[in-house]
Structure 1
Amino acid sequence: MTTGFARLPDASAFRLANLRVPACLIEGCDIAADRSGLARVDLAVAKGRIEAIGLAGTVAAGVGPALDLDGGIALPRLVDCHTHLDKGHIWPRSPNPDGTFPGALTTVAADREANWSAKDVRSRMDFSLRTAFAHGTAAMRTHLDSLGKQIGISWSVYAEIRAEWTGRITLQASPLFGADAALDPTHMAAVVAAVKAHGDKLLGCVTYMIPELDRALDILFRAAIENGFDLDFHVDETNDPAARSLEHIADAALRHRFTGRILCGHCCSLSLQAPEDEARIIAKVREAGIAVVSLPLCNMYLQDRRHGRTPRWRGITALHELKAAGVPVMIASDNTRDPFYAYGDLDLVEVLREGTRILQLDHSGSDWANAVARTPAETMGVEAGIIAVGARADLVLTRARDWTEFFCRPQIDRSVLVAGRAIDRTLPDYRELDHLMGRAS
Structure 2
Amino acid sequence: MKIVNARLRGSSGLYSIDFDGAYFSSITPQDRQLTSDTGSIDARSRLVCAPFVEPHIHLDAALTAGQPRWNKSGTLFEGIECWSDRKSMLEPDDIRNRALETLEQLVSHGVQYVRTHADISDPSLVGLKTLCSLRDELSDKIHIQVAAFPQEGLLSYPRGLQLMEQAIESGADVIGAIPHFEYTREMGESSLKEIIRLAGAHDCLVDVHCDEIDDPNSRFLEVLAAEALFAGMGSRVTASHTTAMHSYDNAYCSKLFRLLKHSGINFISCPTESIHLQGRFDTYPKRRGVTRVKELDAAGINVCFAEDSIRDPWYSLGNGRLLRVLDFGLHICHMMGHEDFVRALDFITDHSARTLGIEKDYGIAPGKPANCILLDGEDDYDVLRRQSDVLLSIRQGQIIFQREPAQVVTPKHLSVNA
| Superposition TM-score tier, normalisation by shorter sequence | 0.7 to 0.9
Query: How far did 1:263 drift?
Result: 0.4
Match of 2:355 in 1: 379
Match of 1:434 in 2: none
- Judged with a 3 Å threshold, the aligned counterparts in structure 2 of structure 1 residues 45 and 219 are, in CA distance, closer, same or farther, namely closer
Match of 1:399 in 2: 376
Alignment of 1:109-128 (within 5 A): 109-113=84-88, 115-128=89-102
String of CA shifts for 1:262-297, please: whole Å, max 9, x gaps. Answer: 001011111221112112112111211211111111
String of CA shifts for 1:73-101, please: whole Å, max 9, x gaps. Answer: 22111111111001100014332222222
Amino acid at match of 1:160: S
**Between Structure 1 and Structure 2, how many residues are aligned?**
396
Say if 2:106 and 2:321, in contact at 8 Å, map to a contact too.
Answer: yes
- Judged with a 3 Å threshold, the aligned counterparts in structure 2 of structure 1 residues 282 and 240 are, in CA distance, closer, same or farther, namely same
Alignment of 1:278-357 (within 5 A): 278-305=253-280, 312-357=286-331
Q: Does 1:198 align with 2:171?
A: yes
Say if 1:138 and 1:384, in contact at 8 Å, map to a contact too.
Answer: no
Query: How far did 1:147 drift?
Result: 1.0
Amino acid at match of 1:387: I
Query: How far did 1:138 drift?
Result: 1.3
Match of 1:421 in 2: 398
Query: How far did 1:184 drift?
Result: 7.1
CA distance in 2, matches of 1:346, 1:258: 31
String of CA shifts for 1:290-346, please: whole Å, max 9, x gaps. Answer: 111111111111111369x67733321111211222211111111110111111122
- Judged with a 3 Å threshold, the aligned counterparts in structure 2 of structure 1 residues 288 and 146 are, in CA distance, closer, same or farther, namely same
Alignment of 1:34-113 (within 5 A): 40-57=14-31, 64-93=38-67, 94-113=69-88
Amino acid at match of 1:405: D
- Judged with a 3 Å threshold, the aligned counterparts in structure 2 of structure 1 residues 296 and 425 are, in CA distance, closer, same or farther, namely farther
String of CA shifts for 1:242-279, please: whole Å, max 9, x gaps. Answer: 11111121222234444661001011111221112112
CA distance in 2, matches of 1:409, 1:59: 24
Amino acid at match of 1:187: G
Larger relative contact order (Cα-Cα within 8 Å, sequence gap ≥ 6): 1
- Judged with a 3 Å threshold, the aligned counterparts in structure 2 of structure 1 residues 150 and 275 are, in CA distance, closer, same or farther, namely same
CA distance in 1, matches of 2:152, 2:233: 19
Q: Does 1:137 align with 2:103?
A: no
Match of 1:157 in 2: 130
Alignment of 1:11-26 (within 5 A): 13-17=1-5, 19-23=6-10
Match of 1:390 in 2: 367
- Greater mean deviation of Cα atoms: 78-87 or 369-378: 369-378
Q: Does 1:251 align with 2:251?
A: no
- Greater mean deviation of Cα atoms: 251-260 or 214-223: 251-260
Query: How far did 1:66 drift?
Result: 4.1
Amino acid at match of 1:171: I
- Greater mean deviation of Cα atoms: 246-255 or 132-141: 246-255
Q: Does 1:231 align with 2:231?
A: no
Aligned-pair Cα RMSD in Å: 2.7
The DSSP-based 3-state class of the residue aligned with 1:171 is strand
Alignment of 1:268-287 (within 5 A): 268-287=243-262
CA distance in 1, matches of 2:284, 2:93: 40
CA distance in 2, matches of 1:180, 1:199: 17
Match of 1:148 in 2: 122
The DSSP-based 3-state class of the residue aligned with 2:155 is helix
Q: Does 1:267 align with 2:242?
A: yes
- Judged with a 3 Å threshold, the aligned counterparts in structure 2 of structure 1 residues 182 and 323 are, in CA distance, closer, same or farther, namely same
The DSSP-based 3-state class of the residue aligned with 2:27 is strand
String of CA shifts for 1:50-88, please: whole Å, max 9, x gaps. Answer: 221132337998985544433212211111111100110
Match of 1:5 in 2: none
Amino acid at match of 1:206: I
CA distance in 2, matches of 1:379, 1:42: 29
Say if 2:344 and 2:381, in contact at 8 Å, map to a contact too.
Answer: no
Amino acid at match of 2:113: A
The DSSP-based 3-state class of the residue aligned with 2:7 is strand
Query: Please, which runs of 5 or more residues in structure 1 have no aligned partner?
Result: 1-12, 24-32, 427-441
Amino acid at match of 2:108: A
Match of 1:172 in 2: 145
Amino acid at match of 1:197: S
The DSSP-based 3-state class of the residue aligned with 1:110 is helix
Say if 1:230 and 1:260, in contact at 8 Å, map to a contact too.
Answer: no
The DSSP-based 3-state class of the residue aligned with 1:55 is strand
Amino acid at match of 2:136: A
CA distance in 2, matches of 1:270, 1:121: 33
Say if 2:16 and 2:30, in contact at 8 Å, map to a contact too.
Answer: yes
- Judged with a 3 Å threshold, the aligned counterparts in structure 2 of structure 1 residues 162 and 251 are, in CA distance, closer, same or farther, namely same
**Percent identical:** 22
CA distance in 1, matches of 2:3, 2:96: 39
Match of 1:30 in 2: none
- Judged with a 3 Å threshold, the aligned counterparts in structure 2 of structure 1 residues 68 and 276 are, in CA distance, closer, same or farther, namely same
Say if 2:345 and 2:380, in contact at 8 Å, map to a contact too.
Answer: no
The DSSP-based 3-state class of the residue aligned with 1:198 is coil
- Judged with a 3 Å threshold, the aligned counterparts in structure 2 of structure 1 residues 64 and 425 are, in CA distance, closer, same or farther, namely closer
